[in-house]
Amino acid sequence: MQLSGDYNGGRARTPGTVGELGEFGLIRQLTSRLTTTPAVRIGPGDDAAVVAAPDRRVVATTDILLEGRHFRRDWSTAYDVGRKAAAENLADIAAMGAFPTALLLGLVVPAELPANWPMELMDGIRDEAQVASAAVVGGDVVRGATITVSITALGDMRNREPVTRFGARPGDVVAFTGWLGWSAAGHAVLSRGFRSPRAFVEAHRRPEPPYHAGPAAAGLGATAMTDVSDGLVADLGHIAEASKVRIDLRSADLDVPAQMSDIGQAVGVDPLHWVLTGGEDHALVATFPPDAKLPARWRKIGDVLAPSAQPQVTVDGAAWEKAGGWDHFGSGEES
């Protein structure tokens, strides 16, 4: 089966279901949508891909997303799910201070799923990879009951040392770049049946991690770094624990946009809670030596202190309630 001439928003539609296309037809169509980069030495279609790793080390991470748990087809298009699934893996590469190079996709799809869904998913993954200068180099597709998107991202350090979670030292400053709480505010809007304000709904559907800021932070001497996937307090907790330090955030430095405050008022939630505990925006948060010159897009929000009793992360010197982040086994809700 060939791509039909029936276009939708610039993207070719594929008629029928994935079951009608068959495994090899689906793989052929998915592969035909991909683009490549000079780093890709052997792309999809062989037993394995071969990707340049000029640094002589490869950075690698994997995440697995399920329909109903990590995304909903009535809230997000396939294209958005693809962008988001790619983004969260690419952000993990950037959070090591590395440059993304390649993605691999493992995909489970029901036979009765419209064939257009995986095609648009692939478009989303491809386009987000391109934002980060990476390419999809391989994958696997199988039939199953629940749509499952498993992505592995690879990256290259370009002769910098990886920025881990265990290098923060007392006296360092804490800073972030990107977005905090936007996805959570969008989730709050969507879960109450609304579709606006659009900026927050869009942020929930399609995060925009600041990929290039990861290697830049490594170049600026970041001592520890992570991306905010579970929530600022929770993810800084991982740095605090790994680095054996305490981290104190200043709420006055955490910008709450006026529109986010409006949503908070409308739904009865302190918007600072979204900023401190909302995941999925994939901001980058890092610790830097006190004399580091941070570019304008990094915002200082706290300090690294000597270790003390729990909690390891405080806000204005005190614990932030309900700041545990997501435990993906603790709740049946879409998160």
Q: Per the annotation, where are the binding residues for ATP?
A: 139-140, 165, 229
Integer CA distances (angstroms), 106 to 58, 82, 303, in order: 20, 12, 40
Pairing of strands 284-288, 173-177: antiparallel
Q: Which one of 134-142, 169-177, 178-186, 196-204 is the stretch in contact with a copy of itself (CB under 8 A)? A: 134-142
Q: Which tokens sit at 101?
A: 């190079």
**Residue 218 vs 263, nearer CB to a copy of itself:** 218
Q: Does 113 bind a copy of itself (CB under 8 A)?
A: no
Query: Alpha carbon 108 to chain centroid distance?
Result: 20
Binding residues among 156-185 for a copy of itself as defined by CB under 8 A: 157, 162, 164-165
Give yes or no for residue 46 binding a copy of itself (CB under 8 A): yes
Position 59 contacts a copy of itself (CB under 8 A) = yes
**Structural contact between residues 177 and 211, judged by C-beta atoms closer than 8 angstroms:** no
Candidate ranges 29-37, 56-64, 123-131, 265-273; the one touching a copy of itself (CB under 8 A): 56-64
Q: Which of 61, 177, 223, 314 binds a copy of itself (CB under 8 A)?
A: 61
Residue 6 binding a copy of itself, by CB under 8 A: no
User: What residue type is assigned to position 116 of the chain?
Assistant: N
Instruction: In angstroms, give the least distance from the CB of 334 to a copy of itself.
Output: 12
The reply on whether position 153 binds a copy of itself by CB under 8 A is yes
Helical packing angle, 18-32 and 116-131, nearest 10°? 20
Residue linked to tokens 């946009």? 257
Q: In what order do the strands lie in the sheet with 99-109?
A: 135-143, 99-109, 148-156
**Shortest reach from residue 29's CB to a copy of itself, in Å:** 13
| Contact status: 212 vs a copy of itself (CB under 8 A) | no
Closest to a copy of itself by CB, 183 or 243: 243
- 317 lies in the site for a copy of itself, by CB under 8 A: no
Alpha-carbon gap, residue 29 to 38, rounded angstroms: 22
The residue from 82, 118, 124, 138 that contacts a copy of itself (CB under 8 A) is 138
- Selected from 36, 73, 142, 266, the binder of a copy of itself by CB under 8 A is 142
Structural element, H or E, at residue 175: strand 173-177
Among 42, 199, 266, 319, binds a copy of itself (CB under 8 A): 42
Do 279 and 201 meet the contact criterion of CB atoms below 8 Å apart? no
Residue 265's alpha-carbon distances to 185, 271, 291, in angstroms, are 11, 8, 39
Name which of 58 and 294 has its Cβ closer to a copy of itself.
58
Q: What is the rounded CA–CA span in Å between residue 229 and residue 283? A: 8
